Chains A and B, each alone.
Chain A
Amino acid sequence: MNQFDKDDVLAQEALLAQTKPAVGRRDVLKSVVAGAALMAVGAPSVLAQGKTLRFLNAEPGRDSVRALRVAAAEYEKKFGVKVVIDTVPPDDAYNKIQSSIAAGTPYDVGTLAFAGHVLLLAQAGKLVPLTKLVQRHKWGPNVLFPIKDENYWYPYDYNFCWMYYRKDLYQQKGLKVPTTWDQMAENCKALTEGGKFGVGHPVGANAAAQWMSLGYMWADGVRLLDNNFKLIVDNAEMKPKVTRYLDFMKKMGPSMPSGMTQALFGTVLGQYSGGQIAHAPYAGRLIEVIEDKAPDLVAKTGFFMYPDSAGSGQAVNHGYDGWVVLNTPMRDESLKFMEWFVDNHYINFLHSAPLHMQPPRMDVYDDIRWRAHPLIEKHAELVDFMKSMLTRKDVAIRSIDTEGPGVDLRPGKMFETFAICDAIQNVLYKGMPPAEAVDIMAAKYRTVL
């Protein structure tokens, strides 16, 4: 008799079929047993046949989509489970997830960029906890947003916003990196001439303005909500600070190009990489862009955090992104996929925007696989600067949608009123006294609290 692999049940069956042409009851029973054995021992891919996971991605960059597709293809090859990647712009992700649930065809895994969305979906029973998976690592501050001691999302990046500046122009003008608002305004003024501008801060009623223009305010210790989610932006302590911030923005106004109410993230990138502005607020993506589009600027670019008014504090504006697993019939498979994905492809995914996707997992900073990326190696100074935001005690990490003592929908509602953007516009374009603009801002915030 031929020697078979003991697990090669199908081959044994084939040989039996050749040597015993007549099919008897015993043969049928053997086949059934063989089939059952095959199911039991053998192949997860056979077990999983026909299963499909739907993953809603909100990182539309080409490399990010590719990283996810490679992971999906590998997962399918390994486990026989198809992973379909749908990609939408970040702003559309939450509505798309809601629509998919309402339509009865929910995504199994989704990307979200606001903790309030996670809260809403978790409260509605649409998410499954990822606590065990999350607890396997040490995380940076202000990124997990637990809900009743459970973690419902797996963060994959911080989107902190800080300031970039032109080192060569600073040298030409004999300027120093600003540590106060006055110095910042003076530097911007000194660099505004001949169609070039000191800085580009978006001031429209949009997320770009709230991400790129408020850091100074956070550095000065402004808080919008107290520990009971009560609005305090216009109380005796905060109002003078916000007023001072609006005064500062007014001072910066002449150093900015026109059309900043229409400016979005890409506008500022274009202004800086095109040499139109000498300071630009952004995260690591700015370096990635100038490496690609304006390499001559790379060596001329420096960075610092948003200074405060007095030179004693600094801040970055907060941002974050993460994945959630939805409570679908595929939830167990989704959890299995997530576990496999974060073990095997998390770093590959971060590498799809190597400097922009700042890791929230502290172990990643010491992971030689992550550090091996050419841009991360080249910009080690920037990477150390980015990591320092997570470890230094004197750095304020703030944003409107993360105001208050914990995750809550109220700051998210405040974010979407864009009342602070209105206040900046009122001061810059209508000449309104800052104190009055603060009152209007506070009134608008109260309408949603």
Chain B
Amino acid sequence: MLSFRTNSDKFLLGAFIASVAITLLLILFPVVHAIQLSFYQSESFVSERTWIGAGNYLRVLQESGFWRAFGIGVTFSVLTIVLQVALGIGCALLLDQPFFGRPVIRGLAVLPYLLPTVVVAVAFQWLLDGSLGLFTIWAEELGLGRPAWFEDPVMAMVVVVIASVWTWTPFVTISFLAALQTIPKSLYEAARVDGAGSWNRFWHVTIPMLVPMLMVIVLLRSIWMFNKFDIIWLMTKGGPLSATEHLPVMAYRRAFMQYDVGGGAAVATLSFAVLSLLILVYFYFYPLDGKEGNK
């Protein structure tokens, strides 16, 4: 049984409780407040609110724009996660090999992750600028004309996906690199003795050992990418023609620009609910403690 007899123990206990309380307050208060707002009709954050129950939800769910934004969010998340994981594993395998200058290359590989998102967004915007962008000029010199990077809905989505993958793949790489280094060398030795080639060693040793990390990465990146607001807002503001407007952008537009605080809160709450549901399903099938799920 735990006992807290010394002053030091009591201080640690107090600090722990305080930190938990502050964290809960900082997380719970905004969430509860947002959920509360979603049941009111309000045209600003300071005007009087009118209780309308589920009115905002019914209205939002009936809009085709909501489902379109939901689909765009799913598309963006899936594309970025698949590419980040594939590239992340590939880069981790390369960086795990011994080669000259490995520490420097490992350091450089992390660089994009260290850049503030706004820097990434502005850099991509400049590179793809319709008049002065380096990539635009190169494309023109190659005889491809001036690509409509941000005018074409599909191209705009591709651009934000590429920018996102470029920025956040290093996180996946570092995670897998760490996981690779925990795989006992004896497993590879045993596989080699059993006659397994490099592909078989990768497929039957490396991949199974990376699965727990893969699960965590997919979970974390799903949450982050589905909620990703900054890169899309900074690069396209959800355009062109709402082609990159996912739920966070839609919620922001409604709450802060279209004077529909309740509607914006409803969109954000629905997004939160979808994500929570997804995480519960995920944990049902892939519990993090490694036990068999309730399949």
Contacts and interface: CB of A to CB of B under 8 A. Distances in A.
A416 B258 contact: yes
Given A102-B46, A429-B152, A412 B240 contact: no
A428 B260 CA distance: 30
B201 to A, nearest CB: 48
A417 B263 CA distance: 14
B237 A102 contact: no
A101 B242 CA distance: 32
B17 interface: no
Contacts of A271: 131
Interface in B224-243: 237-242
B154 to A, nearest CB: 11
Interface in A386-445: 409, 412-413, 416-417, 422, 425-426, 428-430
B239 A204 contact: yes
B125 interface: yes
Interface string A240-271: 00000000000000000111111000000001
Interface string B230-269: 0000000111111000000000010011111000000000
Contacts of B128: 259
A124 B131 contact: no
Contacts of A123: 47
Contacts of B146: 258-259
B239 A102 contact: no
Contacts of B176: none
A196 to B, nearest CB: 11
B44 interface: yes
> How big is chain A's contact interface, by range?
35 or more
Nearest to A205: B239
Contact of B45 (A98, A417, A425): A98
Interface string A102-114: 1000000000000
B130 interface: yes
Nearest to A440: B241
A352 B150 CA distance: 35
Contact of A412 (B131, B136, B149, B259): B259
Interface of A: 95, 98-99, 101-102, 116, 120-121, 123-124, 126, 204-206, 257-262, 271, 276, 409, 412-413, 416-417, 422, 425-426, 428-430, 447-448
19 contacts: A98-B44, A98-B46, A120-B43, A124-B48, A204-B150, A205-B242, A257-B131, A258-B130, A259-B128, A260-B130, A261-B150, A261-B240, A412-B259, A413-B259, A413-B260, A417-B258, A447-B63, A448-B258, A448-B260
